[in-house]
Amino acid sequence: MSIVLEHVDYVYDAETPWQTTALRDVSLSIADGEFVGIVGPTGSGKSTLVQHLNGILKPTRGRVRVDDIEVGADRGRMKELRQKVGLVFQYPEHQLFEETVWEDIAFGPRNIGLDEEEVEHRVHWACRAVGLDEDILDRSPFELSGGQMRRAAIAGVLAMKCSVLVLDEPTAGLDPRGRANMLAQMRALHESGMTLIMVSHGIDDIAQLADRVIVMNEGRVGMQGRTREIFRRYEELQALSLQVPRTAQIMRRLRDAGIPVPVDVLTVGEAADALEEILKGRNCSAEEHNHRSVHSR
């Protein structure tokens, strides 16, 4: 599975007074099994970009290919495309519409003609994958908490057993615990071999999970590269009003205060290790110092 975009432009409401060019000459590729984070200011084209990946939007110019399917051109293969690439919209709880959670999660698999035994199997599997308590399967999706609704909507997409999962702002509006759970599940899905593409405002979430980052700016790919490389480019990110991960910000302050810490750490764990190294070094030199002063007396 690979995804390739070549010189993609996308124009909303073309040839009307509301015409908006949302993507401009976007070229990128995503390989099988990657975890790619997409960041960028509001309105930079992130949602427009990801909606091309399962054919909801078709490029105005340029090409989008998912394996050997050309999005927009191979009209007969859209169903196949949707089975490969699952897209969870921003605020996916708006995608829920059936009477029960069960019916909602089962909708996609039924729609592609799977037998009831397989549908049942998939509903249970998808629930487990997103950590949804099966007791709620008979409830109306509209009785659930915000976090549960979001899980139910993601389960509905997962039940299609796609090999690529695209999530547009999956943690937006969740409390810290809901957010941590969601991220742990994303990580587990990725570790099970799925390709993950996550749009997020949460730079810290991206720093923890993504192998690679694509930065969108005014409809273009502003920067792309390995996660650590991208978050090292502090000034360029700041120019786009984007932050570096919080741990990197703290390390930068320590560095400014004269403490020789690395500034390209991505997680709290890495920051702790780096600080421990430095403290060990200081203890050593302090002992050495004491030792010397004893002997010089």
Ligand X SMILES: Nc1ncnc2c1ncn2[C@@H]1O[C@H](COP(=O)(O)OP(=O)(O)O)[C@@H](O)[C@H]1O
Does 227 engage in binding with Mg ion (CB under 5 A)? no
Q: Environment class of residue 56 by beta-carbon count within 10 Å: exposed (0-12), middle (13-18) or buried (19+)?
A: middle
Total residues interacting with ligand X, rule: CB under 6 A: 12
For 168, phi then psi, to 5°, come to: -100, 105
Is the CB of 66 or the CB of 214 nearer to ligand X? 214
**Residue written as tokens 């909602």?**
104
Partner touching 86 among Mg ion, ligand X, none, CB below 5 to 8 Å by kind: none
Of 259-288, which residues contact Mg ion (CB under 5 A)? none
Q: Which of 7, 32, 43, 269 binds ligand X (CB under 6 A)?
A: 43
- The β-bridge relationship of strands 212-217 and 220-226 is antiparallel
205 vs 59: CA distance, rounded Å: 29
Partner touching 12 among ligand X, Mg ion, none, CB below 5 to 8 Å by kind: ligand X
Interhelix angle for 146-158 vs 176-191, to 10°?
10
Q: Which of 10, 26, 47, 50 binds Mg ion (CB under 5 A)?
A: 47
Could you give the string, one character per residue 175-194, with x where binding to ligand X holds by CB under 6 A and - elsewhere? --------------------
Partner touching 22 among ligand X, Mg ion, none, CB below 5 to 8 Å by kind: ligand X
Does 15 engage in binding with ligand X (CB under 6 A)? no
93 vs 103: CA distance, rounded Å: 14
213 vs 197: CA distance, rounded Å: 10
Is the CB of 8 or the CB of 271 nearer to Mg ion? 8
Is the CB of 44 or the CB of 195 nearer to ligand X? 44
Shortest Å distance, C-beta 9 to ligand X: 12
Q: Which of 37, 45, 109, 141 binds ligand X (CB under 6 A)?
A: 45
8 vs 28: CA distance, rounded Å: 9
Q: How many CB atoms lie within 10 A of CB 91?
A: 15
Contact segment (CB under 6 A) with ligand X among 44-52, 73-81, 130-138, 159-167 equals 44-52
Does 48 engage in binding with ligand X (CB under 6 A)? yes
Residues 6+ positions from 167 with CB-CB distance below 8 Å? 88, 154, 186, 196, 197, 198, 199
Which residues make up the interface to ligand X (CB under 6 A)?
12-13, 20, 22, 40, 42-48
